[in-house]
Amino acid sequence: MHPVDVGEKRLMIVNVNGQFYATDRICTHEEADLSTGFLTGTFVTCPLHLSRFDVVSGEVQNAPASVPLKTYGLKIEGTSVYVQL
Ligand code: FES
């Protein structure tokens, strides 16, 4: 999970076995940085209260968070990563 700032947005690029995904990186529960959490398959676990989100859909898998994570379209050209904001 790689943190990226784009203007005011705090995103992370997630590499899941060579498939890349872009999501917000601030947990929807409080202000934890998800890029410092744990990735298991497509699920990121928040380091603060252990909510779990699917980085593909943004859906919450485990409370206490209840609001999905925002996800973004992404494409890779050569060594550049483009995120559709
Ligand atoms: S800040 Fe992420 S679960 Fe609470």
pLDDT on residue 56: 97
Give the angle 12-2-33 at the CA atoms, nearest 5°: 60
pLDDT of the chain, 85 residues: tens digit per residue: 999 998 899 999 999 999 999 999 999 999 999 999 999 999 999 999 999 999 999 999 999 999 999 999 999 999 999 999 8
Q: How many CB atoms lie within 10 A of CB 7?
A: 6
Atom in ligand 1 nearest the alpha carbon of residue 31: 1
pLDDT of res. 63: 94
Structure tokens at 4: 């990226």
Nearest ligand 1 atom, CA 46:
2
Residue tagged 């790689």 (tokens): 2
pTM of this structure: 0.93
Q: How far apart are CA 28 and CA 70, in angstroms?
A: 9
So what's the pLDDT on residue 30? 96
3-state helix, strand, coil in the chain (%, to 5): 5, 55, 45
Burial class (CB in 10 A: 0-12, 13-18, 19+), 83: middle
pLDDT the model gives residue 46:
98
Residue whose Cα lies nearest atom 4 of ligand 1: it is 49
